[in-house]
Amino acid sequence: MTTKSASAEITTTDIGVTAKRRLGVAEILAWSSRNGVFVFTALLIIAALLFVDGFASLYNVTDVFHRAAPVGIVAVGMTFVVISGNYLDLSVVAQVATAGVILIAVSNTHGIFIAIVAALMAAILFALVNGIAVGVFKANAVIVTLATTFIGLGVLRYFSGGSIFFGPPDGIIKAFGVGKVGPIPYSAIVLLVMTILLSILLNRTNFGFLIRSFGVNESATRLGGSNTALIVIGAFLVTAIAAMVAGFVLAAFSNTAVSNDGVGYDFRALAAIIVGGTSVFGGRGSVFRTLLGVIFVSVLTNILVLSGISFGYQQIALGALIVFAVSLDAIGRKVAR
Amino acid sequence: MSEILELSDAKSKGFLGRAGTVIGRRTEGRGIALLSVILVIVALTEPLVFTAYSVTLGRIALIGIVALGLTAVILMGELDLSVASTLALSGVVMASVPELWLGILAALATGLIVGLINAFFVSVVGINSFIATLGMLFALRGLAFVISDEAPVSLVNKEAGISFGEPLIGPLTPRVLIFILVFIAIQIFVSKAQAGREFFAVGGNRQAARDAGIPVTRRIVTGFMISGFVAALAGIINSLERTTADPTAGSTVLLTAFAAAIIGGNYLKGGRGSIVGTLIGAAALGVLQVALTISGVQIPVQQIFIGAILLIAVTTDPNSLRSVRGSIRTLRQGRAKNSVTT
């Protein structure tokens, strides 16, 4: 009798131990997928400072800011689509290029105010097409935005003829593009302001709450009495406006615009978002995390460039980074369950 | 119960009734509609497309071969965005091996390995296939750039490439013949082989398939390996015909292949669709592309056409239309309720 109870006790403690151990693994994985970016970014910057020649120079830091800004602005905007559980918006490629070309080309002929209004109209059109197809027709966001990328780029190339547009050498666009506060270019300040604004939108408003709620459970959000189509359209609208701002910043940086400007932005923005710890499964994430992810990806790219590593290897590294970060998230969820 | 009633109903209706039920179950409707509209318009405006049918067939084969591989994955409710890069990578791999046959084998092996890696991330790690294969899309493109040193690689054996572009049986080039073979192989696999038929079950309801004893993980691995293998085949054909392997190849093929598979009635959430539908979709898009090219339409405008067709295709599948009807109904009911309360 006593032996029986003793063995029973042992097994229960065994179970307790294994359960605890499992919880430990789950916690580590979940923690590193959520907060790993803080550690990794810090480690990466320290390593770069120590081992990479030319990283710590003022010129290079300004350059990192310059390059990070447009991608970062796209990424903080696209965070809304990812949190709403719609994977991503591939059409930012077309949106960035469209905004840049419209800004330069239209302001050359009609003035900058009309150019900005025209670019805004284009952004709203993108958001409406994407948002209605995904939100009302419940179509797959990846395929929809793949289609709108090609439509948008096709329209842009048709009207621009694929040519490069140059802004006036002494205009306001040029002045903005080269302007700096100390070592920090205006573009980086725009990124910071966008991050703060979108963070407030996500965390402090009803709309932001609904985006999260929709990302966690679509049906429950609908049954709660919300218009889910408007939530999805809103998420795509935030992304489109951010992509427009990114297009402006990018065009101002070089004072030129061409229809290939946005190539690769979809992918780098997604890498930043996922590395920041925003879940592609929807519902979880934040805009500040995306900013951190942007810094991580930009510093990583900068290190690769400074070390003379070719474009091919950079692509492999970013692709692997995305798959690795999502794997961490997925395994963490699996073990936790 | 209602289904049994319907079936017996169909039986009592005789041949026409049974035909109606069979047609109702098919998914190719939109594909056939689009194909016939395009055929009529093209026949009236640009009959050269049919006179130069070898060009048209070649175009259909290029789109269709990638789309057929994709269909195997889509039937299970997964996506494989990496096919575009697999196509480029396998071409580069083949061109960098001096011996032609060894190169082809290496390229096919590349496709199979890519499929295996995709399937690992999707079924074992449990990542969404869109994100996993998107990561692979970029990583493999990078790998193609690294292997090719960022420039197109010419084939060592140029004669083989040139003879590959010539008609083999009648007017049919090897590309078209390979396409027909791939079509027959996948069609037989999906409709006759048990493993292939189980693809539909895995796509329809994964948990139910697992409970019914279907090895779901193994089926997913098979599906991604088919799609990787077929994409590699397309890469080989592409580089052989051009006698060079371009590391940037395949990015427009991705869009067109997806459009072909989705227009063909393959339901993106899995479980419904057919290989024949993909063939119809590829035929429609191939004829359209050749017609647009012959009538001198610029490439950007062609992109708009294909993009718009893909957008329409993905928003008009039965499920999408049902959800639109549902939201209109709720809107109306909401209004009615409001008017009652006020």
Q: For B204-255, give the DSSP string.
A: H-HHHHHHTT--HHHHHHHHHHHHHHHHHHHHHHHHHHHSEE-TTTTHHHHH
Give me the domain span that covers residue B200. 34-314
Q: What are phi and psi of B153, to 5 degrees?
A: -100, 125
Contact by Cβ (8 Å): B125, B231: no
∠ CA B249-A256-B299, nearest 5°, is 35
Interface of B with A in 32-71 (CB under 8 A): none
B57 domain residue, yes or no = yes
pLDDT of residue B337: 53
B329 domain residue, yes or no = no
**Residue A294, token pair as written in the block:** 């942007």
C-alpha to C-alpha distances, A299 to A43, A272, B219, nearest whole angstrom: 11, 11, 41
B159 domain residue, yes or no = yes
Q: How far apart are the first and last CA of chain A?
A: 36
Q: Residue B225 and residue B334: Cα distance in Å, rounded?
A: 49
Domain ranges of chain A: 25-336
pLDDT of residue A10: 43
Interface of A with B in 134-193 (CB under 8 A): 136-140, 142-144, 146-151, 153-158, 162
**Tens digits of residue pLDDT in A222-244:** 888 888 889 999 999 999 999 99
DSSP letter for B264, please: T
Q: What is the pLDDT tens value at each position of chain B, 342 positions in all?
A: 444 445 445 455 677 777 776 666 677 778 888 888 888 988 888 888 788 788 888 888 988 999 999 999 999 989 898 999 999 999 999 988 888 889 899 999 999 999 999 999 998 888 888 888 988 988 999 999 999 888 888 877 777 777 777 777 777 888 889 999 999 999 999 888 888 888 898 888 888 988 988 899 999 999 999 999 999 999 998 888 888 888 888 777 888 888 899 888 888 888 888 899 999 999 999 999 889 888 888 888 988 988 998 898 888 877 777 878 877 777 777 655 554 443
Which residue of B lies nearest to A90 if distances are taken between CA atoms? B134
Helices and strands in chain B: count of H runs, count of E runs? 17, 2
pLDDT of residue A59: 82
Sort out which chain B residues have CB atoms less than 8 A from A270's CB and list them.
134
B121 touches chain A (CB under 8 A): yes
B66 domain residue, yes or no = yes
> What's CA B85's distance to the chain center, in Å?
15
A112: distance to nearest CA of chain B, Å? 27
Q: Residue A100 and residue A247: Cα distance in Å, rounded?
A: 5
Which of B314, B319, B322 has the highest number of chain A CBs within 10 A, making it the mutation to test binding with A?
A: B314
A87, A147, A158 ranked by CB distance to B310: nearest? A147
ipTM of the complex: 0.82
The contacts of residue B296 (CB under 8 Å, 6+ apart) are none
A331 touches chain B (CB under 8 A): yes
B122 touches chain A (CB under 8 A): no
Q: Residue A48 and residue B127: Cα distance in Å, rounded?
A: 31
In 10 A of CB A204, how many CB atoms?
Answer: 10
Q: Residue B54 and residue B61: Cα distance in Å, rounded?
A: 10
Interface of A with B in 306-325 (CB under 8 A): 310-320, 322-323
B336 domain residue, yes or no = no
B53 domain residue, yes or no = yes
The hierarchical CATH code for the domain A25-336 is 1.10.3470
Length of chain B: 342
Contact by Cβ (8 Å): A255, A275: no
Number of structural domains, chain B?
A: 1
A133 touches chain B (CB under 8 A): yes
B92: distance to nearest CA of chain A, Å? 13
Question: What are the b/e assignments for A129-148, b being 16+ CB within 10 Å?
Answer: bbbbbbbbbbbbbbbbbbbb
- Which CATH number belongs to the domain containing residue B168 in this structure? 1.10.3470
B28 domain residue, yes or no = no
B302–A229 CB contact, under 8 Å: no
A3: distance to nearest CA of chain B, Å? 40
C-alpha to C-alpha distances, A186 to A17, A177, A297, nearest whole angstrom: 55, 7, 20
**Tens digits of residue pLDDT in A17-44:** 444 455 566 667 667 766 777 888 888 8
Contact by Cβ (8 Å): A97, A247: yes
